[in-house]
């Protein structure tokens, strides 16, 4: 007597469960199409436009993030160094070079789920165009390390993999034209004391 309603309920639970799990995994797998990679740095210039794909819209809605408009800015993320190795908070890195033209830029570390990484409030967790120390040729070296470093230093906690997020604001590079010719800073591993 309860066999048919039980089987129908079981089929609905399995169907909805598989649908929800596959949707969440698809949203975690990609933030959209049209990514542009410049060395280890990746940006999605079309993610905030009206022509963006449905995956990018869903990912943005799920994350609850407001993205910059095409003329406002562009966000680059890096999960690997310049040699293609995954960034690890047990290691130290140098970000060397300069950023593409922008009125202002910020750089901070994020965890694997794209949230800003938590550090001690007394330690530097972000750096920007106004606070970075530059060499005479306008290049910079930013040390990303769990141990204190002289000069430009971003503190990270030893929590496993992390990402670097570089946001260019009020930049001509926000349009997709000319992105391939841009020079992004290199990410160079300088050591892993725990390795």
Output the pLDDT for position 71. Answer: 62
Instruction: Give the span between the Cα atoms of 32 and 27, in whole angstroms.
Output: 9
pTM, rounded to two decimals: 0.75
For 150, the token pair is: 């002289």
- Which positions ≥6 away from 66 have C-beta within 8 Å? none
Residue 132 reports pLDDT greater than 80: yes
Region 158-176: what's the mean pLDDT?
79
Tens-place pLDDT, residues 39-58: 898 887 766 666 666 766 66
Look over the chain and give the mean of its residue pLDDT values, rounded to a whole number: 81
With tokens 């449905």, the residue in question is: 54
Region 163-187: what's the mean pLDDT?
75
- Which positions ≥6 away from 28 have C-beta within 8 Å? none
Q: DSSP alpha helices (H): ranges in the chain?
A: 3-29, 54-63
Instruction: Give the span between the Cα atoms of 169 and 187, in whole angstroms.
Output: 21
Q: Are strands 140-145 and 152-155 parallel, antiparallel or unpaired?
A: parallel
Evaluate whether 140 touches 132 at the Cβ level (below 8 Å): yes
């Amino acid at each position: 007597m309860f066999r048919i309603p039980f089987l129908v309920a079981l089929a609905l639970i399995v169907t909805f469960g598989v649908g929800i799990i596959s949707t969440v995994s698809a949203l975690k797998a990609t933030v959209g199409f049209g990514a542009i990679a410049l060395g280890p740095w990746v940006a999605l210039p079309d993610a905030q436009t009206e022509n963006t794909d449905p995956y990018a819209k869903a990912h943005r809605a799920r994350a609850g993030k407001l993205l910059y408009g095409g003329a406002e800015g562009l966000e680059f993320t890096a999960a690997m160094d310049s040699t293609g190795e995954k960034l690890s908070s047990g290691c130290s890195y140098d970000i060397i070079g300069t950023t593409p033209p922008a009125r202002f830029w910020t750089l901070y570390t994020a965890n694997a789920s794209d949230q800003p990484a938590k550090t001690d409030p007394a330690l530097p967790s972000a750096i920007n165009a106004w606070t970075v120390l530059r060499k005479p040729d306008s290049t910079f070296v930013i040390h990303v390390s769990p141990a204190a470093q002289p000069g430009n230093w971003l503190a990270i906690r030893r929590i496993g993999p992390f990402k670097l997020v570089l946001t260019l604001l009020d930049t001509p590079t926000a349009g997709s034209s000319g992105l391939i010719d841009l020079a992004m800073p290199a990410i160079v591993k300088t050591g892993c004391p725990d390795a």
